Structure 1
Amino acid sequence: MNQSNPTLAASRNRAFDQELSRGAKAALPVLLGFIPFALVLGAQASQKGLSTSAVALLTGLNFGGGSEFAAIELWSSPPQMLVIVAMTLLVNSRHLLMGATLAPYLQHLPLRKALPSLFLMCDESWAMGLDDARRNDRPTAAPAFSLGYYLGVALCLWLTWVLFTALGALIGPALGDVRAYGFDMAFAAVFLVLLRGMWRGVQAALPWLFSLLTAALCYRLLPGGWYVLAGTVAGLVMAYLWAKA
């Protein structure tokens, strides 16, 4: 019995490593959208006076592209930290809806594994991890969420984001306004492709569509980033009511 434990542990480690590798390979096409978007953010940050190390720290600790762009747009000298923090919370509030969707696939994991993994959650790693779990799920089995696959995707995206935002800050002064090259459209294009892969019909998408309509309406009627929070809350409420129906 004692001899079989090291063998079992080694087998599990090999399986986990294989899933890490599978996730890393799956992330490669997404990186094509991440790199130009990261360069844009880094270049904009350098134009606001942030150093390369400060940009790497910002993007490493707050792994959420939309909120980072909002923070850079609001950056001033001296920075209005309360305003920046409030806007960051608003923009990142979409993670409430993302986390609620992912929760059933994480509940079998211990907190020491689930919570650190969620630190790396972004729109793309969430979408790819959820889609992979749904593809492998079986009605009679536990949710087939692969932590190794998810971490393989998330770690590659996080490292790429930090490295290339720092590179964008380093070479930003020489590039000028990188948005003139259209690089900032790459991120949106990649995410649209990911959403297409997750499409399960109109009924399954109703909470997302309701969230979208609410966010669009609030964007037109309310100033600032409140439309993000409104869309998130609307999606959560709709998903709850749909599950109870």
Structure 2
Amino acid sequence: MSTTESQVLYPSSFSAEAWRGTLAALPVVLGFLPFGLLLGAQAAQKGFNVQSLMLMTGLNFGGGSEFAALALWTSPPQVMTIVLVSLLVNSRHLLMGASFAPCLSHLSPGKALLALFFMCDESWAMGLADAKVRRERGHDPAFHLGFYTGTALSLWLTWVFSTGLGVLLGPVLGDITRWGFDMAFPAVFFVLLKGMWKGYRAALPWLVSLICAGVTCRLVPGAAYVPVGAITGIAAIFLMNRKVS
């Protein structure tokens, strides 16, 4: 591919890259909508108003932990229990952030921290996948903050406003999972993972993590399967790459 063609596919300006990231995020945005509405509908049943839920989803930006928090919500709320469960569910972000760190090494600390604040499962996967493609095409740095900004900000705004809308429309919508919309979220994420495929050997830690997390989910109540999946995945990577003395 010529230099001109490469520049057309991967424009260098921040605004052009941000627009490209926004367009790339559109399928994921559609997957966010039903889950945001569902979370909002559940929050309305717990007594949340639009402002309080949007504040929670905007500051936390972790769908799994927010669903868990609502499931544990009582009046008055058991704050410490909710905080600990949220930390447990969000513990996967430690690994995601560590794997993302090399992509952010050329950014200032302030920009890197801001990028990590807006990181979710989907923006993380899309950011890494795009950096991989750009690296293969000779771009340096491979990670472009503009693309990531367009992607992450689109997802964040969609999530925050859809949860707020869910509070308003919850009584009208009822249980939207009966329409099968709850499959949109995992389906989109599996498509994103496909772009990160590096072969069967590289996928073995994912398989180990999946099996261990699944067994734990079946046998142990609560969100213990999250750290179990993360720890066993790390252990598998360590054992696979350990040098034999």
Same-fold call, TM cutoff 0.5:
yes
- SS of match in other structure, 2:13: helix
Alpha-carbon separation, structure 2, partners of 1:25 and 1:242: 38
Whether 2:169 is the aligned partner of 1:175: answer no
CA 1:141–1:188 in 2, change beyond 3 Å: closer, same or farther? closer
Aligned to 1:49: 47
Runs of at least 4 residues off by over 6 Å? none
- Whether the aligned pair in 2 keeps the contact of 1:136 and 1:144 (CA below 8 Å) is yes
Structure 1, unaligned stretches of length 5 or more? 1-13
Q: Shift of the alpha carbon at 1:194?
A: 1.2
**Residue 97 of structure 1 contacts residue 235 of structure 1 at CA under 8 Å; is this kept in 2?**
no
Deviations 1:3-59 (A, max 9, x none): xxxxxxxxxxx7111111110111111111011111111111111111111110111
Indicate the larger mover: 203-212 or 39-48: 203-212
Runs of 5+ consecutive residues of structure 2 not aligned to the other structure: 1-11
State the TM-score, normalized to the length of structure 2. Answer: 0.89
Of 179, 197, 200, the residue aligned with 1:199 is 197
C-alpha root-mean-square deviation of aligned residues, in Å?
2.0
Of residues 29, 32, 43, the one that matches 1:31 is: 29
Paired residues, what number? 233
Name the CA shift for 1:140/1:26 in 2 (closer, same or farther; >3 Å). Answer: closer
- Tell me how far apart the structure 2 counterparts of residues 242 and 131 of structure 1 sit (CA, whole Å): 23
Q: Which amino acid aligns with 1:85?
A: V
% identical equivalent positions: 59
Where 2:195 maps in the other structure, the secondary structure is helix
Counterpart residue type for residue 142 of structure 2: A
Cα gap change, 1:128/1:206 in structure 2, threshold over 3 Å: closer, same or farther?
A: same
Q: CA deviation at 1:140?
A: 8.3
User: Partner of 1:137: helix, strand, or coil?
Assistant: helix
Q: Deviations over 1:188-244 (max 9, x none)?
A: 111111112222211121222221122112222322111101111222233344444
Q: 1:84 aligns with which of 77, 82, 85?
A: 82
Is 1:96–1:232's contact at 8 Å kept on the other side of the alignment?
no
Alpha-carbon distance change, 60 to 106 in structure 1, aligned in 2, over 3 angstroms = same
Corresponding residue for residue 4 of structure 1: none
Tell me the equivalent position of 2:96. 98
CA-CA distance at 1:114 after TM superposition = 0.4
CA–CA distance in structure 1, aligned partners of residues 238 and 153 of structure 2? 31
- Going from structure 1 to structure 2, the CA distance change for 1:112 and 1:180 (only over 3 Å counts) comes to same
Residue 198 of structure 2 aligns to a residue in which SS?
coil
Name the structure 1 match of 2:235. 237
- Does residue 228 (structure 1) correspond to residue 226 (structure 2)? The answer is yes
Matching residue of 2:59? 61
1:126 and 2:124 equivalent?
A: yes
- Equivalent residue of 1:76, what SS? coil
**Shift, 1:117, TM fit:** 0.8
The more displaced of 156-165 and 217-226 is 217-226
Shift of 1:168: 0.5
Q: Give TM-score scaled by structure 1 length.
A: 0.89
User: For residues 244 and 114 of structure 1, do their structure 2 counterparts lie closer, same or farther at Cα, with a shift above 3 Å needed?
Assistant: farther
**Deviations along 1:67-105, whole A, 9 cap, x unmatched?**
111111111111111111111111111112211221221
Question: 2:4 corresponds to which residue?
Answer: none
Alignment deviations for residues 103-149 of structure 1 (CA, whole Å, 9 cap, x no partner): 22122222111011100000100000000011111598755111111
